Amino acid sequence: MLLYFVVGSSTLAAIFGLLAFLGARSRTDPTEKILLLVHEAFDRVRSLLAEQNRGLREELTNNLRGFQTASLQAFTDLGRQSRAGSNFGAVSKRQRGA
């Protein structure tokens, strides 16, 4: 029983030693780590700016849509007034000297 425990624990120690060796070997250079961190930071900033720009585009679109609606309504009302017989700008007989 003690023999199994010793063999099992030495096997675990060998596995952990191998994993530690492989982990230490695959570590990157400090400059590569810095470049990776900078790249990740730029990706985050880019995604935040893209989200902010999307919001600004939506806001601009809504404002333009409101401006179009207000302009169309104003011209529609102006057309209705002119058809209703509004004589804005018309010269009367008295003003013409007749």
**What is the C-alpha separation between 9 and 6, in angstroms, rounded?**
5
Q: What is the mean pLDDT of the chain?
A: 80
pLDDT in tens, 67-79: 999 999 999 999 8
Residues recorded for the chain: 98
The answer to whether 28 touches 36, Cβ cutoff 8 Å, is yes
* Residues in Cβ contact with 28 at an 8 Å cutoff, skipping those fewer than 6 apart: 36
Tokens representing 51 are 């989200």
Output helix, strand, coil percentages for the chain, rounded to the nearest 5: 85, 0, 15
| Predicted local confidence at residue 83, as pLDDT | 84
pTM reported for the whole predicted model? 0.44
Amino acid in position 90: A
